Amino acid sequence: MKSRAAIALATGQPLEPTEIDVDDFITHDRPFERIDEAFDPLQAGKSIRTVLH
């Protein structure tokens, strides 16, 4: 997991949480029952963040 400081450095944004829209970093979502499938895009390099619900 990246720290807030690492994200700010990578995006060139200040450390203010209101200035970073985290929704832009969520690339996939899956129900918890399909957790195994959540790793496929990650391992293929096609996912930034997957949300399980």
pLDDT in tens, 4-39: 667 666 776 665 656 667 788 888 889 999 988 888
Strand partners, 28: 50
For residues 53 and 2, which has the higher predicted lDDT (pLDDT)?
53
What's this model's pTM, rounded to 2 decimal places? 0.49
CA pair distance 22, 26, nearest whole angstrom = 7
Q: Where are the beta strands (DSSP E) in the chain?
A: 26-30, 49-52
CA nearest neighbour of 25 among 40, 39, 8? 8
- How high is the pLDDT of residue 28? 87
Residue tagged 């293929």 (tokens): 44
Can you tell me whether residue 28 is helix, strand or coil?
strand
